[in-house]
Amino acid sequence: MADSRPALQLLTQVFSDQQLTAYATLQTYLEAGGSIFTLVEKGVQGLVRDFGVSPDDARQLLRRFNSMAIYLRRQFIEHSLYDSAKEQRRASSGLLSMVRGPSFELLFNPRFDSLCPPQALESVASPVAYLIELMRWIEQRIEAASNDMFKLPLHDRRKDLKPLSVDFNAVHRSVSSVDIIVPVLERFIDMAPEALEQAMIEARYPNGLPYFQHWVTVDTVARHHGLSVGSFVQSVSPSFPYFFQAQAWYNDAGPALAHASRLGPYQRRLLTEEAAKLADRDVFYAHNFGTDDLTWQDLEEMPFFGERTKLDTRGLEVLLSVRGFAPVRSANVTYSSQTESDVPESGRSGSVYLNANDHPGVSIVGSADGPAFLHRLSVSPGDAAGLARYDRMNRKLRLDQWLALPSEQVDALLVAAIKAEVRGDAATSAWWITEQVVHALGLFQSLRERYECPVNDFAVFIDELSIYGRGEALSQFDQVFNNQGDYRESLKLDNGPFPIVPAPEVPDLTVSQLCSALGIDLQTYNYLALAIANAHGVDGESLSRNLAIMSSFYRMVKLPRLLGITPVEGVLMLTMLGGSFGSTAWRVCP
pLDDT digits (tens, 9 = 90+) for 279-314: 999 999 999 999 998 999 999 999 999 999 999 999
Q: Crossing angle, helix 229-236 and helix 253-260, to 10 degrees? A: 160
Return all residues near 290 (Cβ < 8 A) that are at least 6 apart.
205, 206, 308
Q: Residue 378 in 3-state DSSP?
A: coil
Given CA atoms 251, 252, 257, 263 in this order, what sign does their dihedral have? positive
Query: Confidence band (pLDDT; 50, 70, 90) for 245?
Result: low
Arithmetic mean of pLDDT over the chain: 86
Q: Tell me how far CA of residue 254 lies from CA of 231, 242, 428, in angstroms.
A: 12, 11, 21
| Displacement of CA 99 from its chain's centroid (Å) | 77
Residue 477 has pLDDT above 80, yes or no: yes
What one-character DSSP code corresponds to residue 127? H
- Residue 472, judged by CB atoms within 10 A of its CB (0-12, 13-18, 19+), counts as exposed
Integer Cα distance of 440 and 302 in angstroms: 33
Number of alpha carbons in the 13 Å side-chain half-sphere of residue 188: 9
Q: 468-470 and 497-499 as β-strands: parallel, antiparallel, unpaired?
A: unpaired
Integer Cα distance of 365 and 201 in angstroms: 36
- Residue 127, judged by CB atoms within 10 A of its CB (0-12, 13-18, 19+), counts as middle
Q: List, for residues 547-574, the tens digit of each pLDDT value.
A: 999 999 999 999 999 999 999 999 988 8
In the chain, the amino acid numbered 527 is: Y
Given CA atoms 504, 505, 508, 512 in this order, what sign does their dihedral have? positive
Alpha helices per DSSP H over 341-453: 384-403, 407-423, 435-451
Percent of the chain having pLDDT more than 90? 50
In the chain, the amino acid numbered 219 is: D
Q: Tell me how far CA of residue 341 lies from CA of 327, 329, 330, in angstroms.
A: 11, 10, 14
Listing DSSP states for 307-327 in one string gives HHHT--HHHHHHHHT-GGG-E
Residue closest to 300 by CA, chosen among 367, 346, 359 = 367
Q: List, for residues 377-431, the tens digit of each pLDDT value.
A: 999 999 999 999 999 999 999 999 999 999 999 999 999 999 999 887 666 668 9
In terms of pLDDT, which residue wins out, 141 or 420? 420
Q: List, for residues 188-205, the tens digit of each pLDDT value.
A: 777 766 677 888 999 999
Q: List, for residues 339-363, the tens digit of each pLDDT value.
A: 666 788 999 999 999 999 998 999 9
Query: Contact at 8 Å (CB) between 215 and 264?
Result: yes
Q: State the Cα torsion 264-267-272-276 to the nearest 10°.
A: 160
Q: Cis bond leading into 117, ω under 30°?
A: no
pLDDT score of 126: 84
Query: Confidence band (pLDDT; 50, 70, 90) for 95?
Result: low
Residue 368 has pLDDT above 70, yes or no: no
- Residue 40, judged by CB atoms within 10 A of its CB (0-12, 13-18, 19+), counts as middle
pTM over 0.85: no
Q: Residue 119 in 3-state DSSP?
A: coil
Over residues 472-481, mean pLDDT: 93
Residue closest to 584 by CA, chosen among 454, 451, 419 = 419
Query: Contact at 8 Å (CB) between 441 and 589?
Result: no
Over residues 110-123, mean pLDDT: 80
Percent of the chain having pLDDT more than 70? 88
In the chain, the amino acid numbered 310 is: K
250-259, 324-333, 478-487, range with the lowest pLDDT: 478-487
Listing DSSP states for 216-283 in one string gives HHHHHHHHHTT--HHHHHHHH-TT-SGGGSGGG--TTHHHHHHHHTT--HHHHHHHHSPPPPGGGHHH
Q: Residue 305 in 3-state DSSP?
A: helix
Residue 583 has pLDDT above 70, yes or no: no
Q: Residue 572 in 3-state DSSP?
A: helix
pLDDT score of 497: 94
Number of alpha carbons in the 13 Å side-chain half-sphere of residue 245: 14
